[in-house]
Chains A and B, each alone.
Chain A
């Protein structure tokens, strides 16, 4: 009984992420790759994403605050970050990355700085939401084992 309720909650949460544009179809594609042999595939990928992206975001921040801005280099970092975001279905994050890249191409430092704040914000919001989601999914799932945590 309780588990069914939890499962419904998990599904509802996922639906709301999709409806509100936090995630897109790509996330669903990743979930479809999960099976009994790979029960934590999505969480593993997402954990990897947040670990990798923390580094990338730091590099971008450094590039933005230290000295004259190297727009091509910034664009390169952001291209990587956008790519990873896209791979896990992080729709809002990806969209902010696109905006950032546009300012980069235009050589607009102020635009880059402003948009970067948005990028970090969306990134942090998504991280919190997905942490909650995976915690709930574990409680609802067939095996209630604790896998890797998003740090």
Chain B
């Protein structure tokens, strides 16, 4: 269970650590973008975020992630898969950073060989798949601290 360091994030973190995390009302309305080509992972990540009360959108590859930002949308958190068709996570991360996007980008992958390249592209965090609530919470902890 998560304990907040300063006591300031108490509302969010303690409710995230609570048994019923569905009735969440985070002090800041965190939004997220799921970027993954695999339908199963899309569903799981979407549900994980929903469960934590985080409004989120799902796109299928790096190019769609770029497009959604070009349409004017912005997100607090981006969960970026690495291996995707059309545009992979490394390229998408680089492009987003080049566009000036400062959102928290967490790489979510199983490809450990490319981890360093992925990080260097501009990730703030990296988690091995499959994502779990506790991995997501550790990512969110960083979002809240920086946000």
Q: Give me the interface of A with B, judged by CB distance under 8 Å.
A: 26, 29-30, 32-33, 35, 37-38, 41, 44-45, 48-49, 52, 79-80, 82-84, 86-88
Complex Cα–Cα for A80 and B36 (A):
12
- Judged by a CB distance under 8 angstroms, whether B86 is at the interface is no
Find chain A residues with CB under 8 A from B48 CB. Answer: 33
Known: A29-B133, A32-B133, A80-B38. A87 touches B44 (CB 8 A): yes
Inter-chain contact B43/A48, CB cutoff 8 Å:
yes
Q: Which residue of B lies closest to A87 (CB)?
A: B130
Known: A26-B130, A83-B129, A86-B130. A33 touches B40 (CB 8 A): no
Inter-chain contact B133/A87, CB cutoff 8 Å:
no
The 7 closest A-B pairs by CB, nearest first: A87-B130, A29-B132, A33-B47, A87-B40, A84-B40, A26-B130, A33-B51
Known: A52-B40, A84-B38. A41 touches B47 (CB 8 A): yes
Count, chain B residues at interface, CB 8 A: 16
Find chain A residues with CB under 8 A from B83 CB. Answer: 79
Find chain A residues with CB under 8 A from B44 CB. Answer: 30, 33, 45, 87
Please classify the interface of chain B as helix (H, G, I), strand (E, B), loop, or mixed, using the class held by over half of its residues.
helix
- Judged by a CB distance under 8 angstroms, whether B110 is at the interface is yes
Please classify the interface of chain A as helix (H, G, I), strand (E, B), loop, or mixed, using the class held by over half of its residues.
helix
Find chain A residues with CB under 8 A from B43 CB. Answer: 44-45, 48
- Judged by a CB distance under 8 angstroms, whether B88 is at the interface is no
Find chain A residues with CB under 8 A from B47 CB. Answer: 33, 38, 41
Complex Cα–Cα for A82 and B110 (A):
10
Inter-chain contact B110/A83, CB cutoff 8 Å:
yes
Complex Cα–Cα for A32 and B19 (A):
10
How distant is A125 from chain B, measured CB to nearest CB, in Å?
20
How distant is A106 from chain B, measured CB to nearest CB, in Å?
17
A-B contact pairs, 7 of them (CB 8 A): A33-B44, A35-B22, A45-B44, A49-B40, A79-B83, A83-B129, A87-B41
